[in-house]
Chains A and B, each alone.
Chain A
């Protein structure tokens, strides 16, 4: 693979709760190349955020990674010791958080919080050097340099998001994970932020992972899309193919659910049922209870995540046939 920056293989993770173990991520695999933007999309609870926090091993106390590998530039993150993980956080993979409203500590100045990241990973840099870097970053995200010494509550929502992006860029990471980067923003600001992210990515040849439940957002910024369902990855391919030629029944249902402004009028197609309870996930393919194409095979053994040709991965025994157009 040319320039694969991140390779996730068979990642499996669960949470231990009062009621039992929740299988949040099961056998998820994908690769990410330099300069590529991968979008992870799915309903709430499908495991996309769990995948994100597993990447930097930012797991809560009751979470456990049961298996798999995460290769960042050849090194398996899951095999690293605690102190080593601290080093690759932010310099290897950084995050733009969901609900970035609160990702900034309210009692410290915004600039100081970025400098903190710099000083932690590059202690040899002087404060003046760090500050210069922050000024440069602010310029990149189109924030006024005067805001560096202000407190988070003095920033508007969109400005805060830009500051978070600046912070994520600060240590020159190889991968940036943006978890619902625009969910809390109004549509116009959202548009601006997405454009900016795309620009930054192109300029810096950055590898990015976008996570959202909003497929419109994902479509706008991603080169490839991974569709997740109930902790597993259902389909993974480039954006156009996922939209035009979805082969997993779930993806197909998702795409059908979108009314088209230009296309013919039709009844709103919905997917009956609900995502399964991950405490006791259904055996076999987790989508089978809702799938119109399910057979006995689907109910017994989970389908393998296979390349059906042209880097188009699907986990299904009865993928939808390829059509033309």
Chain B
């Protein structure tokens, strides 16, 4: 007896099928994500900031003259006293060095995004690599990585970063990578490793092995899709924390960055305008609000992802 006639021959190319399945998985996850308004709010805020980031080069190319509106070296000599309060010319006023606050705000958005996403990416790559290696090799390598993870877990990152800034000159990209690596070796690795281990022993892996799948093929087509939503969740959280960390370090003047929201607050601080009263609020409120909002946006998206990843939390 053959199976002829009972099973319809597969006519679609394999990649097309895989794509369709992946797309279906994505839309299913999106539907779950959509259910929670919190995630959508977060996404909305992120989009808003993305628009802000895009707006800056457009404005600089069209409406704003470089001499006055450059966020780092601009200076408005038409106004006598800096920092100047908000006006038609400067919607958010100017800072103690005569630079337009709105321009600074928009300009920094780009680097904040870059920082957050780069750190997130690095951390996921590191965690996946280390976790997979620990799961695959086991033994002494596993132990070493887990001991390192223990130490990383107990370190207050900000404190370590603070000390590191004393020893090294940090620019934005250095911070992103260092932060990503630090996070990558920590708790995420342990989760990835346990996920990898649990998937490794699942029956369908053995089935795939029996059907002739190579080791890397199995990891790529079976383990990774299961790890993706979780990885995405962690990326959101790492992005939040990275942006926050940069802002703190910049605020205390420990970083070698030319312009960021944290630097804006630092400028206000060292010029003595922090506690100077409502007239100077334009120096502290926009930057502080921006940091808070972007961080909360990533965090909200991460939380909504939590419901997608953990089925027990979903409503019926």
Interface residues of A (CB under 8 A from B): 17-18, 60-62
Contact = CB atoms under 8 A, between A and B. Distances in A.
Interface string B265-286: 0000000000000000000000
Interface string B290-316: 000000000000000000000000011
A62 B315 CA distance: 10
- For the residues of A in contact with B, the DSSP-based class is loop
Contacts of A17: 316
- For the residues of B in contact with A, the DSSP-based class is loop
Contacts of B316: 17-18, 60-62
Nearest to B314: A18
Instruction: Indicate the size class of the contact surface on chain B.
Output: under 10
6 contacts: A17-B316, A18-B315, A18-B316, A60-B316, A61-B316, A62-B316
A62 B316 CA distance: 8
Contacts of A18: 315-316
A17 B316 CA distance: 6
A61 B316 CA distance: 10
Nearest to A62: B316
A65 B316 CA distance: 18
A60 B316 CA distance: 10
A17 B315 CA distance: 9
A284 B315 CA distance: 32
Contacts of A61: 316
A261 to B, nearest CB: 30
B35 to A, nearest CB: 9
Contacts of B315: 18
B53 to A, nearest CB: 37
A198 B286 CA distance: 75
Contacts of A62: 316
Nearest to A18: B316
A22 B167 CA distance: 66
Nearest to A61: B316
A18 B316 CA distance: 7
Nearest to A15: B316
A17 B314 CA distance: 12
Contacts of A60: 316
A32 B202 CA distance: 47
Those 6 A-B pairs whose CB atoms lie nearest each other, nearest first: A62-B316, A17-B316, A18-B316, A61-B316, A60-B316, A18-B315
